[in-house]
Structure 1
Amino acid sequence: MLDTEKSAVAPTAEAEQHVPPKYDGYDDEAVVEPIQCPAHTTERKLVTRIDLHVIPFLCIMYLLAFLDRVNIANANVFGLSKELNIANGNKYNTALVIFFVPYILFEIPSNILLKKLKPRVWLSLCMFGFGLVTLLQGFVKNYSGLLATRFFLGVFETGMFPGAFYLIGMWYRRHEAQRRYTFFFSSTTLAGAFGGLLASAIGKMDGIRGYQGWRWIFILEGLLTVIVSFFFYFLLPNFPEEAKWLREDERAFVKARLQLDQGSSAAERPIKVRDVINAFKDIKIVVGGFMYLGLIVPAYGYAYFSPGIIQGYGYSPIQTQLHSVPPWAAAFGFAMVIAWASDRLQHRFLFTIFPICVAIAGFAILLAVHDNRQVQYAALFLVAMGAYTAMPVIVCWFNMNLGGHHRRAIGSAWQVSFGNIGGIIAVYAFLKKDAPKYIPGYSISVAFVCLSAISCLVYFVLCSWQNRKRERTARDVGLTEYEKTELGDMNPDYRYLL
């Protein structure tokens, strides 16, 4: 938006270091009202307070959500399929797929409700719901019961991921966002690591009160989520305009610094049907869905089937759970390094392509090597590191380039809902009959990772072209502030982050 030298926000060392003019959201000749950070604090301290009130709770929430979603893979290692008599055929895969039906359909309605009901109310309600369903999953008696619980798990989890990304995007400026997005997204890698350790411990409860170990995984992890959801009704953050833990002058400053970077948020404005229609007239919105879709296939393929793949290397159930932990831990570390570098250089495109290449290298090894357990296991590290590092960069890049509540709520929900079609593809890409080599699954994953890379390139070209086009356009196009707010990032003053 404005040069840091011209900005009315009092500059900090962090701002001077990380905010070169070419990456700010609006043209440097835009007119804004001067604002000052409240005298009792500094901008850096205020951002730290925001971090402490927003990120940890969203991370814990999504860690539990992802854990409750993929713990079926750990449960299957401990005999779920055998006890429910679904070991033969593709019934287990169908149980995984049915989760995605409501998860895909209800993303956009969920984000609209999130804005209407306030984040802490809607997200804590959803959290209670998926925790309860997970707990009940531990008591299913047959295949029909498993399908029903998986369906309703998808219903209640539908708002978690896009809602949290939407909420984070409304608190931070674009050059601050990647580390926060990646740390939040890495809740999935922590969930994978934590899930393996937890499952290895819970699995030892096999036979207690007549329940097999896989049932205790669902019961205890679901109960934990239900209990935490009651606390999170009070702890989860709302939007900046509604944050009661900020003073009035602090809220005004936070709102103003975000407006400098992203334009008016239009928080008071309801989201209408025409907003949804208008959003899909922008080709970049559509491309954003394909960017995410291409990585969801390998990501869910890994999340759901890596325990079974590792078990195929000859490990016992307990050893399998323990060996599933290190790749997730490596993915977390790699993702945070890439996020730091991306924010430092204020660039996104190359930081999507590099981890995508890492994932492709991992799949190439898995396709070529079938007789060396150590090399195959190392390839799983590359797959997890590549897929789970590129995804948060893609989502942050896309979300933070969307201006205003209405554009961001719709765009973030669309990207996640369309992308999760890849979850259905992943489930049927890795079939039991293809074990232990899983050639079709790995091949399909490589194809979709390449689709993501091509989509990222297309998005980069579109954003670059629009930035150059707007630079050549006359500065004053006669739009009122209301009209600019309605346009969001389609405002001719807006500049996209590349």
Structure 2
Amino acid sequence: MASPRTPPSGLEPEIDFDRQVSNEKSSVAAPIYSSTEGPSQEQHFKVVTRGDPLSSSDDVRGEITGYDDSFMRARAALSSTEEKKLLRRIDWHLIPLLAIMYMVKTIDASNVSNARIMDRGTPRNIMIELSVTPDQYNFVTAAYYIPYILAETPSNLLVKYLKPSVWQARIMISWGIVLCCHAAVTNAGGLYTVRAFLGLFEAGLWPGILLQLCYWYRPDEMASRIVLVTLLGNFSAVISGVLSFAFDGVHARGLSGWKWLILTEGIFTIILGIVVYLVLPDFPNTASWMSQEEKDFIQARLPINAPRAAEKDFDWKEFWQTLKDPKLWLFLLCWAFYTIGTTGLQFYQPTVIANLGFTTIARAQLLNIPPAIFACVLTIVFGWVANTGHVPLPAIPLTFMVIIEACYVALYTFPNTGGVYAATVIAGGFSIAWYTMMWPWRVQTTGGATGSAFAIAFANSYGQIGGAVGSQLFNSRFAPRYTTSFGIAMGFIGAAIVMNLVTWSATWRVDVATRRLKRARVAAGKRNEAILDDVDIYVGKRRG
């Protein structure tokens, strides 16, 4: 992979995409201005009509970083209409299956939070049946997250070597088997063991999905695809609530309702894993449902720093460059502070709502549905906003955290039951949608097959340390209102807000360039034109 070209010393590149692009097949000047020195240099964008054979390729040879003539020809091979049709076809082959995979992962990871209040007050309740105290139950989350954190990064580094369809199928089938093993649990030790193995085997699914999207889509196209993938995942709490309500009170063949709930989810996960192995596309160059021209086009339109199937499976140099990049650690701290501040709310939400005393325990499961529906609405609305290219991506999760902080004030002061439930719904919705809005920002700052795999998994794994810590904030001595717990969580959300601002300051150039480029590409597409060298937007910058 070629390295980005370096601008003259003292210049920070900023491309003026507001100038109208000429309809001619020749190069079009778009000035680059230094933020301090003014318009001292110009960078040219090469624009051709879609479908043009690039007979004038001599005019651009050697001026476009990282691409030879064959790639340049591939970039203009399809018309704007044909490109849209091809992307829709790719979406249909990838997104629905990835969305179902993510939804099942979310349901299976959080089922013990719903199981906690199933058959409450009866011998078939999970805590009574296994003789588990509330404080012991807190360690269920820690047992899951510790192996999950340790295995996530190595797992993602194997995705390319073993192919996504093979590795993701292995992940799903193995954790489905672990879910089925929950039916044999008889004590706290057994519960800790199966949850630890669940975390171990689930590790890698979500970062693997994100990495796979990077092989198919440009950074400015990721927001809408991540929204589509996570939408069903955000809806998972609705499905979990309904399933928990349905299995509440069930006792058959010696198994309590909570065991039937998890066993059913395990069987479905195994079946889905087999489907993933048979159906999931791997990389653009291996897709049997695309022509060679379409394969070349999809790969040629990606930025030069994007991961590619042609790259070697592991690059030590890329690994160390990514590890030393400050942005890797800034994003990690964002995730860590945020998950500490919100995991407790997500894990204890069914319990908090049940303790409010609105209705029976079974019906309290249904009161967990509104936050999930609200999260879906937020995901759709702000996903559309992010996809316009007019709003900075970091501003969206920052806004979400400010709102969550305000809701925590209500949960801390506990004004009344209705107010607390409203704050729970709002905070729960925004806390779920935060991840969907955060990931497009993160993936647009990664680069290379090894670098992307490592950076994505590292943030998602070690950033999840809050999953192990956050649940411990909700100690039984703070029940039933958990005001102290929410007070501590407020402090961590405040720290996450500060880290969001610091990380934004370190990545704003990439965000500005990506959004401006998106608007330029949309405008050129309306004229059925292709900007040949728009792949090199990270001029002089090493993404991390």
TM-score (norm 1): 0.86
| Alignment correspondent of 2:92 | 52
> What's the CA shift for 1:274?
4.1
- Counterparts of 1:295-374 in structure 2, within 5 Å, are 295-314=338-357, 315-346=359-390, 347-370=392-415, 372-374=416-418
| Alignment correspondent of 1:202 | 247
> What's the CA shift for 1:496?
7.5
The counterpart of 1:278, out of the listed 321, 324, 349, is 321
Q: State the secondary structure of the residue aligned to 1:106.
A: helix
- Counterparts of 1:233-272 in structure 2, within 5 Å, are 233-259=277-303, 262=305, 265=308, 267-272=310-315
| Alignment correspondent of 1:67 | 107
Structure number with greater Rg is 2
| Alignment correspondent of 1:121 | 166
**Structure 1 residue 140 and structure 2 residue 140: aligned?**
no
**Structure 1 residue 292 and structure 2 residue 292: aligned?**
no
- Confirm or deny: 8 A CA contact 1:327 1:380 kept in the other structure: yes
| Alignment correspondent of 1:400 | 444
> What's the CA shift for 1:384?
1.7
| Alignment correspondent of 2:506 | 462
Question: What 5-or-longer segments of structure 2 have no aligned partner?
Answer: 5-14, 22-44, 52-62, 119-124, 513-534
| Alignment correspondent of 1:214 | 258
The counterpart of 1:410, out of the listed 454, 457, 473, is 454
Encode CA deviations 1:86-135: one digit per residue, 9 max, x unaligned: 035x2111122111111101111101111110001000110011111111
* Matching residue's letter, 1:85: S
Cα distance 1:306–1:270, how it changes in 2: closer, same or farther (>3 A)?
same
> What's the CA shift for 1:407?
1.4
Encode CA deviations 1:313-333: one digit per residue, 9 max, x unaligned: 113221111100111110111
Question: Identity rate of aligned residues, in percent?
Answer: 27
Cα distance 1:124–1:237, how it changes in 2: closer, same or farther (>3 A)?
same
Cα distance 1:40–1:150, how it changes in 2: closer, same or farther (>3 A)?
same
> What's the CA shift for 1:453?
1.7
Q: State the secondary structure of the residue aligned to 2:207.
A: helix
- Confirm or deny: 8 A CA contact 1:132 1:222 kept in the other structure: yes
Cα distance 1:46–1:304, how it changes in 2: closer, same or farther (>3 A)?
same
Find the aligned partners of 2:364 and 2:220 in 1 and give their Cα distance.
Answer: 40
> What's the CA shift for 1:409?
0.6
| Alignment correspondent of 1:19 | none
> What's the CA shift for 1:383?
0.9
Cα distance 1:251–1:217, how it changes in 2: closer, same or farther (>3 A)?
same
Find the aligned partners of 2:541 and 2:293 in 1 and give their Cα distance.
Answer: 27
> What's the CA shift for 1:272?
3.5
> What's the CA shift for 1:285?
0.9
Find the aligned partners of 2:291 and 2:321 in 1 and give their Cα distance.
Answer: 36
Of stretches 148-157 and 453-462 in structure 1, the one that deviates more from structure 2 is 453-462
- Confirm or deny: 8 A CA contact 1:295 1:391 kept in the other structure: no
> What's the CA shift for 1:466?
8.1
| Structure with more of its chain in helix, by fraction | 1
| Structure with more of its chain in strand, by fraction | 2
- Confirm or deny: 8 A CA contact 1:266 1:404 kept in the other structure: no
Encode CA deviations 1:146-185: one digit per residue, 9 max, x unaligned: 1110111011100111111111222211221112112323
Cα distance 1:43–1:202, how it changes in 2: closer, same or farther (>3 A)?
same
* Matching residue's letter, 2:470: A
Cα distance 1:176–1:495, how it changes in 2: closer, same or farther (>3 A)?
farther
Find the aligned partners of 1:256 and 1:10 in 2 and give their Cα distance.
Answer: 16
Find the aligned partners of 1:49 and 1:180 in 2 and give their Cα distance.
Answer: 13
- Confirm or deny: 8 A CA contact 1:369 1:375 kept in the other structure: yes
**Structure 1 residue 42 and structure 2 residue 82: aligned?**
yes
- Confirm or deny: 8 A CA contact 1:331 1:381 kept in the other structure: no
> What's the CA shift for 1:282?
0.7
| Alignment correspondent of 1:375 | 419
| Alignment correspondent of 1:225 | 269
- Counterparts of 1:1-20 in structure 2, within 5 Å, are 5=21, 6=45
Find the aligned partners of 2:46 and 2:356 in 1 and give their Cα distance.
Answer: 58
**Structure 1 residue 452 and structure 2 residue 502: aligned?**
no
> What's the CA shift for 1:494?
4.8
**Structure 1 residue 187 and structure 2 residue 232: aligned?**
yes
| Alignment correspondent of 1:171 | 216
* Matching residue's letter, 1:456: N
Q: State the secondary structure of the residue aligned to 1:238.
A: coil
> What's the CA shift for 1:41?
6.5
- Confirm or deny: 8 A CA contact 2:335 2:459 kept in the other structure: yes
- Confirm or deny: 8 A CA contact 2:445 2:507 kept in the other structure: no
- Confirm or deny: 8 A CA contact 2:342 2:431 kept in the other structure: yes
Cα distance 1:493–1:50, how it changes in 2: closer, same or farther (>3 A)?
farther
Encode CA deviations 1:9-28: one digit per residue, 9 max, x unaligned: 8679xxxxxxxxxxxxxxx9
* Matching residue's letter, 2:369: V
TM-score (norm 2): 0.79
Cα distance 1:294–1:31, how it changes in 2: closer, same or farther (>3 A)?
same
Find the aligned partners of 1:467 and 1:334 in 2 and give their Cα distance.
Answer: 21
- Counterparts of 1:434-449 in structure 2, within 5 Å, are 434-449=478-493
> What's the CA shift for 1:402?
1.0
> What's the CA shift for 1:490?
11
Question: What 5-or-longer segments of structure 1 have no aligned partner?
Answer: 13-27, 469-487
